[in-house]
Amino acid sequence: MPTIGEHVEVERRPKLGGGGPGKIPNPRGFGGGDDGDRDRREDFRSPKQRLNRMRLLMGICLFSVTVLFVVLTLVYLVRLVSGRYDPDAQRQVQDWIPLNLPYVQLWINSLLLVLSSVTLEVARRTMAKKEEFAVMGIVPPAAKREVPWLGITVVLGFCFLAGQILVWKNLQHQGAFGRFNPSRPLFFLVTGAHAVHLLFGLAALLYAALGARLWALRFDSQRIAVEVTSWYWHYLGILWFGIFALVHFARA
Amino acid sequence: MKSQPNSPQANAKPFATGWVRHVFSTDHKVIGRQYFFLSLAAVLVGAWLSLLMRIHLVWPKAAIPFFGEIKPENYLAYLTIHGTLMVFFVLSTVPQNGFGTFFLPLQLGATEMAFPRLSAAGFWTTLVSFLVLMAAFFVPGGAAGAGWTQYAPLSALANAGPGQALGTDLWLVSIGLFCLATILSAINFVTTTIKQRASGMTLMRMPLTCWTWFVTAILSLLAFSVLTAAAVMLLLDRHAGTNFFVPGGLLVSGKAVEHAGGSPLLWQHLFWFFGHPEVYIAILPAMGVTSHLLSVFSRKPVFGYNAMVGAILAIGALGFMVWGHHMFASGMDPHAGFAFSTLTTAIAVPSAVKTFNWVATLYGGRIRYTTPLLFSVGFVSLFITGGLTGPLLAQPSLDVYLHDTYFVVAHFHLIMAMAGLFAIFSATYFWFPRMFGRMMNERLGRIHFWITLLGAYATFMPMHLLGIAGHPRRYSDLTGVQYVAAMLPLQKFVTVAAIVTLAGQLVFLTNLFWSMLKGPAAAANPWECSSLEWSRPGPSLPQSVAGRKAVVNYGPYEYGIVGREKDFVMQDDPDTGERRSAI
Amino acid sequence: MAAALRMVLALITLGCVYLFVAHPLWFPAGVSAESVALDRNFAVAFRVLGALFIAGQLVLALVLMRRPATAESKHWYGNWRIEIAWTAAITVIFFWFNISGGRLWSHEIAPHSAAGATQVEVTGAQFQWYFRYPGADGTFGRTDAPRWAKADEGNPLGIDPGDPAGRDDIVATQMVVPVGHTVELQLRAQDVIHSLFIPAMRFKQDAVPGMDIHTHFTPVKVGVYEIACAELCGIGHYRMRALVRVVSEEEFAQWLKGQANR
Ligand code: HEA
Ligand code: HEA
Ligand code: CUA
Ligand SMILES: [Cu+2]
C-alpha cells in the first residue's frame, strides 16, 4: 500500500512544491512564527512578544516614512534642476531663488532635536533596565525617574517645533522671491512633513509619559511605547539632518 | 483587579462590552466581515453609477424610475466616483482587507492579526473615507469630475468646472483617509505574516493567498505613501497658494489663474507611480485566490509553487518601474518611452507565467465543478483576454493611437474589473461557509456564473472596436463629434449587455442574503481543503477558538494523495513519520 | 458542467474572433504618411495577440477534461524544465513584439527635416481648438492669455498687440494644411490639459498648459477629417471638436491670403 511519503518522494524530484511534507524545519526563527506555538492565547499578549511585534511594526512604519521622504526629496530636486518653462524664450529657464536660510535658528533647532534624542535615550535605557529587574521582582514595576526624562524630551520636541515655526515665519517675511518661487513652498513642504511626523512622535511620548496616570497603562506597555517611539524619534532626528543637508546643499 | 505586573489578564481587558463589542470589535473575523459589507455597499453604488452612465450615453433623455432624468453635467461625477469606488473601495478593499483580515491569521495558524486594534482602526477609517466620498454628491457643484486620475490642472482649479470646488476637496480628503487606512492595515499584514505564523509554517509552506496578501501589503506601503503626498500637495495647491502642479499664464473661465511655475506632468508622475502598483495591488490577491481554488478543486498541488512565488515577487518589484506607460502621449520625453515600454513588456512575462501555471494546475486534475471553481476558470479566461491587450498598449507607437480611447477602457475592465470581480465572487462562494457558517446555493451560483461570464464578454469586448475606431473615453455625450455619433449602435449593444449583466447580479444578491439567513449549515470542511482555515471547527463568531495548538507539518497543496481514506493531507495533520524513512 | 464550460469557452473565443474579423467598426482609412507603417504594425499585433488569445482560451478549455470518477488526479508539483521553457517562449514572443514596435517609435520621434513644412500652433482651451499660422514673417507673435485674450474681439489666444511678429499671425478655428507637406505642430493649452486626436492621421498628442510640445504629421490625401479632444478637460470635453481640411497647395495659398486680408 503506497504511503504519502513514498508517493511524494517519487513525484518530488524536480523540487517545486510548496514545502511538501517534512520535518518542521527550525521550529522558531525563519521556519515559522510563534503565534501558533503556544497553548494559551494569553501568550499573544506577553510583553516579550508584544515588544517584538511592535519593533517590527516600527520598522515597517519607518520603511513607509522613508518612501515618503524619498519622494519629496525627488520632487524637490527635480523642480530645482528642471526649472520652469518660459513660453517666450521657448525653453526651460532656471527660476530657483535660493533661500536665505536662518542658519543660527536652524542649528539651534538641530541642537534641540539632538538633545531630545539624548534625553529620550536615557529614559529608554533606564526603563529597559528596570524592566529586567521588575521581571525578577527586584524593583516595583512603575515608571518614576523616567517620567521627567520623557517630559524633558517632549518639551525639547515642542521647542524644536516652535523653532521651526520661527524659521517658517522668517522665510515668510523674506520678500526677495516673488510669490511663485518654488523654493519656499518646497522647503515648507519637506520641513512641514517632518514636523507632522514629529507631532505623531510627541503624541506617542505623551501617551507613554502620562499613560500610567490617565489610562492605567501598565509599566511594560509603557516601556514598549517608549522603546519603539525612541526608534521613531532617532530616525526623525537623522531625517532632519538629511533635510537640512538637502536644503543647504541643493541650491541651484 | 490587583494583578501581577506581567500577568496576561491585566491587559486582556475587553475592548468594550455589550453590542458595542460586536460593532467595534477587534476580532479579525468581525472586521473581515465588516470590510466585506462595506465593499458590497461600494460595489452596489459603483455598479448603479455605471448603469446610469451607460443609460445616459445612449438614451440621454431616458427617465430612470424613482430617479428621474440624468443631467449631462453629472456624467463626469458619476464616472469619477464609479472609478474611485471600484478601484479603491472594492478591488483594493475586499480581496485584501476583507478576505485577508479574515483568513490571513487563520491560514497562518495564528489566532489573531498582530495588531487587532489596528485592524479596527483601519476599517473605521475606511468607512469614514467612504462616507466622505459619498458626501460629495450632496455638496454644491456635486462630486469631483476629473476622473479617478484627477489630472491637474483640471483638478487643481476650483473654477474649471462643476464639481471642481468642494467636490474635489472631499475627493482628496477621502483618498487621504483611504491611504492612511490602507497603510495601517498593510503594516498589520506584514507583521502578521512575519511574526504570527504557526510553528512549521515556513514561508514556502504558506498558501499562495498568504503570499499575495503579504506582497500586496508591501506594495501598499510604498504606493499609498506616495499618493498621500500627492493628495496633500494638490490640496495645498488648491488652498494654500503653493504651485506644484499649476503652471503660469493660465486663463480659466475668463479669469487669470493666480499660479505659476508648477508642472502638470509632476502630478501624472506621482499619480502613476502610485497608480500602476495600485492595479497590481488590486489583482494580486485575486491571483492568490485563483491559485488556491484551482488547486483545491482540481485536487492537485499548485503547479510550480516556487515559480508562482517568484512571479508574485517579480510582479511586485517590476510594478514600480512601469508607470510611464500611462504617459506616452502626455508630452513626457519620448525617449523615456523606450525604457517604460521594455519594462512593461518585462512585467507581462511573470503574469503570463502565472497563467501557464494555472492552466497546468488544472491539467490532469479530477476537477470538481463547483461554483467557486467556475469563477476561478472565468478569472483565468478573462485575465488572458484582458491581459493580452496589455503588451499592445505597452508599445508607444500603437498606444498613442489607442490611449484614452475605449480600447483602454476595455483592457482594464476585462483584466481588472471583471477578472477582479470573478476572483471576489469565487472567494465569496468558497469562503462563505467559513464566514457565515452556511452554504450558498450551487444552482443559483451557476446561473450567476453563466450570466456574468457571457455578460462580461458581451459588455467589454465590443469596447475594443469602439477604441480602434477612435472613440475617446470620458465622453458624456456621443453627439459632439460626428464620427463618434456614428458609433451609437454598438454603444447601445454595450448598454444592453451591461443591463443584463447587472440584472444577473440580483441572482447573486438573492443567493448571498438568502444563504446567510436560511442556507443549509456548512460542514467543517465542505470543500476538503487542506489549508488551516478549515482545520478548526466551531462557529465563526467572535474571538477565535484556540482549541488546538497548530503545528504545521505539510505544504499547503497536498492533494491527490493515493491510498488513504481522504485524498489530501491537512497542513496540520500529524506527522506520520513514514516520510522520514522515504526521504 | 465540464462540457458546458468547454463549449462556452469555445463559443466565446469564436464570438470574439468573429467580432474582430467582421469588425462592424474599425480604423478610419489612414490619410497620413505615418499611417501605413502603423497600420502594418497594428495588423501584426492583432494577429500575434489574437493567436495567443485563441490558444489561451482553447488550451484552457482543453484542460477542463472530465476524468472518469475512478481516475486519480496527478500528484504533480511541477517541473522546472517546463517552467523555463514556457518562460523563455513567452519572453521571446513579447520582446520580439516589443522591439519591432520600438523601431517604429524611434522612427516616429526622430527629428525630421523641416524644409517646406507648414507651421501650425495649436492651442486648446475649454472647449475649443485654435490654430495659428505665423503669417508672412514666419514667426509667431508673443502671447499672454491672461492679459490680452479676448475671444469676442478676435484675439482668443491673447497675442500681444505690441509685438510686430504677431501682427500678421492668422488664427483659425479649423486646421487647413496643404497635402503632401509635413505639418509641424506646436501644441499649447490655455487652461487645462487637452489632447489633439486626429484618428484619420493616426495622430494624438496631449496639449499641456505650461509646455510647448513639438510634433509633426504628414497628410497625404485631400479631404476633411475630424479632430476630437482625447483628454478629459471638463464638462464640454465631448464637444471639443474641430476639423482638419487637407487641401491642394494652391488652395492653401489662397486660403492663407484670404485669412490675411481679413
Ligand atoms: C488589475 C489591473 C491591471 C492589470 C493586471 C494590468 C495589466 C497590464 N497592463 Fe494595464 N491598465 C489597468 C489595469 C491593469 N492592467 C488600468 C486600470 C489602466 C487604465 C488606467 C486609466 O487610464 O484610467 C491600464 C492601462 C494600461 C496601459 C496604458 C494605456 C493608456 O492609457 O494608454 C498600458 C500600457 O502599457 C497597460 C499595460 C498593461 C500590461 C502590459 C499588463 C500586463 O501585466 C498584462 C499581462 C498579462 C498577459 C500578457 C496575459 C497572459 C496570457 C497569455 C500570454 C496567454 C497565453 C496563454 C496560453 C497559450 C495558455 N495598461
Ligand atoms: C473594479 C473596477 C470596475 C468595475 C467592476 C467596473 C464595472 C463596470 N464599469 Fe467601469 N470603470 C472603472 C472600474 C470598474 N468598472 C474605472 C477605473 C473606470 C475609469 C474611470 C475614469 O475614467 O476616471 C471605469 C469607467 C467606466 C466606463 C467609461 C466611461 C467613459 O470613459 O466615458 C464605463 C462605460 O461604459 C464603465 C462601465 C462599467 C460597467 C457597465 C460595469 C459593469 O460591469 C458593472 C457590473 C457590475 C458587476 C458585475 C458587479 C456586481 C457585484 C456585486 C453585485 C457584488 C459583488 C461584491 C462583493 C461580493 C463584495 N466603466
Ligand atoms: Cu479638451 Cu477634452
Ligand atoms: Cu499601468
Among A231, A206, C126, smallest CA distance to B153 is for C126
Residues A229-232: contacts with CB within 8 Å, 24+ apart?
A229/A120, A229/A201, A229/A204, A229/A205, A230/A120, A230/A121, A230/A123, A230/A124, A231/A55, A231/A58, A231/A59, A231/A62, A232/A58, A232/A61, A232/A62, A232/A200, A232/A201, A232/A204
Q: At B52, give phi and psi (nearest 5°).
A: -60, -45
Binning pLDDT at 50, 70 and 90, where does residue A31 land? Answer: very low
Q: What pLDDT is attached to residue B281?
A: 95
Q: Collect all residues with Cβ–Cβ distance below 8 Å to A222 and sequence separation of at least 6.
A: A127, A143, A208, A211, A212
Q: Find, in chain A, the residue whose alpha carbon is nearest to that of C141.
A: A88
Q: Is B243 in contact with A185 (Cβ distance < 8 A)?
A: yes
B262 pocket-lining for ligand 1 (C-beta < 6 Å): no
Reading chain B (583 residues) residue by residue, the pLDDT tens digits are 333 333 333 333 444 455 666 778 888 888 999 999 999 999 999 999 999 999 999 998 887 877 777 887 889 999 999 999 999 999 999 999 999 999 998 898 887 888 989 999 999 999 999 999 999 999 988 899 999 999 989 999 998 888 888 999 999 999 999 999 999 999 999 999 988 888 778 888 899 999 999 999 999 999 999 999 999 999 999 998 888 999 888 998 888 888 888 899 999 999 999 999 999 999 999 999 999 999 999 988 899 898 999 999 999 999 999 999 999 999 888 889 999 999 999 999 999 999 999 999 998 888 999 999 999 999 999 999 999 999 999 999 999 999 999 999 999 999 999 999 999 999 999 999 988 888 999 999 999 999 999 999 999 999 999 999 999 999 999 999 999 999 999 999 999 999 999 999 999 999 999 999 999 988 888 999 988 888 866 544 434 444 455 677 788 888 887 777 788 888 877 766 544 333 2
DSSP conformation class of C254: H
Between residues 224 and 243 of chain B, which touch chain A (CB distance below 8 Å)?
225-226, 228-229, 233, 236, 241-243
Q: Which of A8, A11, A85 sits opposite C210 (nearest CB)?
A: A85
The span from the CA of C204 to the CA of C220, in Å, is 17
Binning pLDDT at 50, 70 and 90, where does residue C25 land? Answer: very high
Q: Whose CA is nearest to atom 15 of ligand 1?
A: B412
Which of B457-461, C62-66, C193-197 is predicted with the least confidence, judged by mean pLDDT?
Answer: C62-66
Contact C227, C205 (CB under 8 A): no
Q: Which of B187, B249, B579 sits opposite A21 (nearest CB)?
A: B579
pTM of the model: 0.93
E-assigned strands of B523-570? none
First to last CA, chain C: 75
Q: Which of B9, B110, B187 sits opposite A57 (nearest CB)?
A: B187
Q: Is the dihedral of CA A59, A61, A65, A67 positive or negative?
A: positive
Q: Whose CA is nearest to atom 50 of ligand 1?
A: B352
B90 pocket-lining for ligand 1 (C-beta < 6 Å): no
Q: What pLDDT is attached to residue A37?
A: 45
Helical segments of B3-98, H only: 8-11, 18-23, 28-58, 74-84
B147 pocket-lining for ligand 2 (C-beta < 6 Å): yes
Between residues 134 and 173 of chain A, which touch chain B (CB distance below 8 Å)?
134-135, 141
Q: Is B469 in contact with C237 (Cβ distance < 8 A)?
A: no
Between residues 169 and 228 of chain B, which touch chain C (CB distance below 8 Å)?
none
Q: What pLDDT is attached to residue B69?
A: 79
Residues of A in Cβ contact (< 8 Å) with C81:
14
B413 pocket-lining for ligand 2 (C-beta < 6 Å): yes
Rg (CA), chain A: 26
Q: What pLDDT is attached to residue C80?
A: 87
The span from the CA of C113 to the CA of B7, in Å, is 83
> How does the average pLDDT of chain A come out, rounded?
79
The span from the CA of A231 to the CA of C63, in Å, is 54
Does residue A90 sit at the C interface (CB-CB below 8 Å)? yes
Residues of A in Cβ contact (< 8 Å) with B6:
46-47, 135, 141, 220
Q: Whose CA is nearest to atom 1 of ligand 3?
A: C194
The span from the CA of B37 to the CA of C200, in Å, is 48
Q: What pLDDT is attached to residue A209?
A: 86
Q: Whose CA is nearest to atom 42 of ligand 1?
A: B348
Contact B77, B263 (CB under 8 A): no
**Ligand 1 nearest-atom number relative to CA B341:** 35
Does residue C86 sit at the A interface (CB-CB below 8 Å)? no
Contact B540, B437 (CB under 8 A): yes
Residue with the larger pLDDT of the pair C9 and B140? C9
Contact C185, C214 (CB under 8 A): yes
Q: What pLDDT is attached to residue B549?
A: 57
